[in-house]
Structure 1
């Protein structure tokens, strides 16, 4: 089934993606033939880019609004809380990514005719359909951990005439019977690149994935070239994806760390400002850089109340914690620390390191992964590396 007569909104989106160089011209035929709208459920929760909130839109109630979001460059949530919540819940767990992000990642994948691709995270099936249109039948295998989502994706792929083999299993293991693959792409956020992917990717192949640390929810797209014994590659841009279920944050909760408040903790002060620590945008490179330097640490940023905002840090290997309290109009912040690690000291040192290095952007960082899964981050060259 080929889609013709693209709606005006989709045509405008396509032109915008090309003009912004988010989509390269070689992907334009797939974009024109495979609309995202064909892979969305009736009820969706688009992310409102102005308010940062998710809005509920049902095609059966307002088809015009639904179509406008389907053809817009916005992320759309399609599942909450692993399907337990039928509507806006605590955590979004499946989505249709922003088209600009989809096509930038496909550009980095650099597929060629005849390539075989393993996709981790089928989701709606749109990304798999774009690849199948480009590469032809039998060249794409997709893995989805959620059985219901997998069934829906299979149905949509079949309706569009682009059947893709969709497997229901943990994507961490890849799919060894179909190996080797020329390319592997993940559409879920990673904290570690699984050794199985390296083993199942051909030498000279490529893995493209959103990767980050437990320090924050932030990811960055990494493009790893695979060779004998592992892979190495650079980061390209910041993104934020829902995390692979097997690699979600292992956080015991605030009460497990601070059951009796901060009164017994060590106290100090810092001249680090709130904006220096958190940045001024959602994708502040400082947060990514600090996460690379401070291992096994989770940061949470509380809402601001009466001009005060606490930022908490929790050690994931023990019960160490720290808190920095920032107050509007004050140049010095109060700090509390407790446990074997001095987490605030580690964070402040990492932030100072980033400034001393010239505040490098995402593109100056890279990742090396060995065949056993050991990971090293680096700045500028793999020789300037450290474990993550």
Structure 2
């Protein structure tokens, strides 16, 4: 018996979904819970993706209209796909940059597992995006149990249409996710699909005592980690980090600083020194070191400048305060062995602070993100700690 086009499409999607399940289970190291397996089968990912997506570091455009097979392949790969660029505006001089994405399915289900939803729970999601994550939650919990907030009107409208088409009963609110949505609360669980540098107080205030707030974490130094907070009922919350994830920042917490435009001035006369700490040790492949430095220096950001057009310098690590008043640059020049040239300007010695933060992390036994935690106090202070809340992490700048 020959299959018609609709049956062929269904068979292809079923096969791709089965392949995605296998990839996700392999990434998680164990089979996902049966309820989530039913959700991934019952809520096809491709239904929630726009007709054009962008893939890879170069943001290569892929259109369902011109290349349906490749588009469908990306829809069921265990990778993130960008679903909006430049906040939906025309491409600017700086080119394309990602402003919304559909997260890799393995991190989606890792977060859903950490969220630990139960029958009868009410969930608030911050960052609707495509609507797929809200759809999975609504499939699991049933109609009227999921409220999701999206700041971008175009994204909110598209997600609303997709969710209504799926008939899942999730409510989409277009607005500022940092404010939450008290009308549908209190919630048993709050989950953000955007990263934060501070947890908005509304998310804690709108969560029941004993409830969970799960957020991807970001510091200006390094975007990495998931923070799972348990709300204490007195206006605060506390919990551990775990590894994984790198999400786009909550739009209200974005900063737009550039070294040559906002920080370094031609009139600056920097102080020169040397260091034995390689810039690669603090801003390279060691993600645990970077995470720890970010907790200690929550107001310092960094960026690499490869081939800076300086004789003998292969690359340069720039550091700056988020207030743009102090900066430092450390050169990888290949000429001084285990010594590296440091240039600093401004009222604070940023590289000295980085050396202290890295030294503390080494003395602590090089802990990974899973040994760190955070307490958010009723007055909004964020207090990082190592292993237990009574062992605070030193915050240096």
Q: Do both proteins adopt the same fold according to a TM-score greater than 0.5, normalized to the shorter chain? A: yes
Indicate the residue corresponding to 2:138 in structure 1.
132
1:21 is aligned to 28
> Does residue 167 of the first structure (1) align with residue 173 of the second (2)?
yes
- Distance in 1, Cα, partners of 2:84 & 2:157: 14
Per-residue CA distance 1:140-196 (angstroms, 9 max, x = gap) = 000000001000001111111223110111001001111100000000010110111
Q: How do 1:92-171 and structure 2 match up within 5 A?
A: 92-171=98-177
Structure 2 counterpart SS, 1:16:
helix
Q: Provide structure 2 residue ranges, at least 5 long, that are not aligned to the other structure.
A: 1-8
CA distance in 2, matches of 1:220, 1:339: 31
Per the alignment, do residues 326 and 252 of structure 1 end up closer, same or farther by CA in structure 2, a change over 3 Å counting? closer
Relative to the length of structure 2, the TM-score reads: 0.90
How far apart in 2 are the matches of 1:93 and 1:256? 22
> Unaligned regions of 5+ residues in structure 1, if any?
none
Conserved? CA contact 2:23–2:78, under 8 Å: no
Q: 1:33 aligns with which of 28, 42, 48?
A: 42
Q: Give the Å deviation of 1:212.
A: 1.9
| Aligned 8 A contact 2:218 2:249 in 1 | no
Root mean square deviation, CA, Å: 2.0
Do 1:142 and 1:166's aligned partners in 2 also have CA atoms closer than 8 Å? yes
CA distance in 2: counterparts of 1:194 and 1:93, whole angstroms: 20
Aligned 8 A contact 1:154 1:163 in 2: no
Q: How far 1:308 sits from its partner (Å)?
A: 1.2
Judge conservation of contact 2:313–2:331 (CA < 8 Å) in 1: no
Matched, 1:75 2:80: yes
Q: Matches of 2:96 and 2:259 in 1, distance apart?
A: 15
Asked if 2 retains the 8 angstrom alpha-carbon contact of 1:231 and 1:368, the reply is yes
What's 1:353 paired with?
A: 360
Of 279, 287, 291, the residue aligned with 2:290 is: 287
Q: Could you tell me how far apart the structure 2 residues matched to 1:376 and 1:288 are?
A: 15
Q: Distance in 2 between matches of 1:181 and 1:338?
A: 47
1:387 Cα deviation from its structure 2 partner: 7.1
1: CA distance between counterparts of 2:275 and 2:32?
47
Cα deviation, 1:190-209, whole Å, max 9, x if unaligned, reads 01101111110000100111
Contact 2:129 2:150 in 1 (8 A): yes
2:58 to 53, 58, 79: 53
Q: Distance in 1 between matches of 2:224 and 2:380?
A: 19
1:42 to 28, 51, 70: 51
Structure 1 residue matching 2:244: 3-state secondary structure: strand
Sort the Cα spacing of 1:63 and 1:256 in 2 relative to 1 into closer, same or farther, 3 A.
closer
The answer to whether 1:334 aligns with 2:341 is yes
Q: Distance in 2 between matches of 1:15 and 1:299?
A: 38
Deviates further, 7-16 or 184-193: 7-16
> Partners of 1:113 and 1:176 in 2: how far apart?
21
2:375 corresponds to: 368
What per-residue deviation string (whole Å, max 9, x for no partner) do you get for residues 8-56 of structure 1? Answer: 2221110221233366223111011112111001110123xxxx33221
Q: 1:250 to 1:43 in 2, by over 3 A?
A: closer
Match of 1:188 in 2: 194
- Whether contact under 8 Å (1:4, 1:33) holds in the other structure is no
Alpha-carbon distance in structure 2 between the residues aligned to 1:92 and 1:257: 24
SS in 1 for 2:167: coil
Question: C-alpha separation between the residues in 1 aligned to 2:313 and 2:108?
Answer: 38
Superposed CA deviations along residues 313-366 of structure 1, whole A, max 9, x for unmatched, are 111235011111112464211001111111000001111111111111110111
SS of corresponding position for 2:60: coil
Please show how residues 173-322 of structure 1 align to structure 2 within 5 Å: 173-216=179-222, 218-229=223-234, 230-249=236-255, 251=257, 253-260=259-266, 264-280=269-285, 284-304=287-307, 308-317=314-323, 319-322=325-328
The reply on whether 1:64 has 2:69 as its aligned counterpart is yes
Larger Cα-atom Rg: 2
Shift of 1:261: 6.4
